[in-house]
Amino acid sequence: MGKDNKEFEEIAQGEELKIIHQMIEKTKSDTAESGTELIMWGWLALAACVCLYALVFLGLPHLAWLPWAVLMPIGAIVQIVKEIKQRKRTRISTYTDHAISSLWLACGMSIFMVAFLAVPLGAVSYKFLTPAISIIIGIAMFTSGQIVEWKLMKICGLVWWLSAVIMMLIHSHLHTGVFAISIILGYLVPGYILRRNYLRK
C-alpha cells in the first residue's frame, strides 16, 4: 500500500511539473506574440527621444516633456485595448500571465509616478529621471525573463541597468542618446527576435 502511495505521489508530482511547464510554454508563446508590444513601445519611445532632440534643437527645451506625455498614453491605450481583445478571445489566463502583467503594470505605474509626479514636484532631480526609468525597465525585463526562463530578456534587463549606470556617470545632456540606444538594444532587438521566432513556428 505504501509503495502504491509513493508511486501515486511520483505520478502526481510529474503531472504538476508537466502542467507548470505547459503554463510557462504558453506564457512564452504569448510573450513571443507580444514581441509586437516590445516593438510598439520601442518605436514610440524612440520617436519620443527624436522629438525631444528636435525640440531642444529648435530652442524649445521647456517642451521636452510633451512627446512623452502624448506618445506614452497612446501606447497605453493600444496596450489596454489589445489585452481586452485577447482576454475575450482566449478566456484562459495562467498564473505566469498574471505575474508578468502585474509586474509590468507595477513598473509602468512606478515610471509614471517618477516622471509625472516626483520630478515636477522636485522630489527627484530631472537629471536622475532617465537613469531611474532605465532601472525600473531593467527590473521588469530581467524579472520577466526569470519567470518565463528566457535568457534573452534577462540580458535585456542587464542592458537597461548598464545604461542606467552609464547615465549616472555622464552629463545629463547625453542621457537621451544613451536611452535611445537602450531602447534599440533592450526593446526593438528582442522584440523583432521574438516576433521572428514566433512566426517561424
* pLDDT at residue 36, as a whole number: 85
6 found inside a domain = no
Q: Are 138 and 146 in contact (CB under 8 A)?
A: no
> Which contacts qualify for 96-104: CB closer than 8 Å, 24 or more apart?
96/23, 96/24, 96/26, 96/27, 96/147, 96/148, 97/26, 97/27, 97/30, 99/147, 100/27, 100/31, 100/144, 100/147, 100/148, 103/140, 103/143, 103/144, 103/147, 104/140, 104/144
Query: What global pTM score does this model have?
Result: 0.80
Q: Tell me whether residue 159 is exposed, middle or buried, using C-beta atoms within 10 angstroms of its C-beta: 0 to 12, 13 to 18, 19 or more.
A: buried
12 found inside a domain = no
| Beta-carbon count within 10 A of 98 CB | 11
Please tell me the distance from the alpha carbon of residue 183 to that of residue 78, in angstroms, as a whole number: 19
95 found inside a domain = yes
Q: For residue 148, which of 64, 23, 39, 9 has the smallest C-alpha distance?
A: 23
* pLDDT at residue 8, as a whole number: 46
43 found inside a domain = yes
CA distances from 121 to 108, 115, 127 (A): 19, 10, 14
* pLDDT at residue 7, as a whole number: 53
Residue 11, helix vs strand vs coil: helix
Question: Residue 27, Cα to own-chain centre: how many angstroms?
Answer: 15
pLDDT tens series, the chain, 201 aa: 555 555 545 544 555 555 555 555 554 555 545 588 889 999 999 999 999 989 988 988 888 889 998 999 999 898 888 877 777 766 556 677 778 888 988 999 999 999 889 988 989 888 899 999 999 999 999 999 998 888 999 999 999 999 999 999 999 889 999 999 999 999 999 999 888 877 776
> Which contacts qualify for 52-59: CB closer than 8 Å, 24 or more apart?
52/176, 53/176
* pLDDT at residue 26, as a whole number: 52
**Residue 47 is part of which domain span?**
29-200
Provide the number of structural domains found in the chain: 1
Please tell me the distance from the alpha carbon of residue 95 to that of residue 101, in angstroms, as a whole number: 10
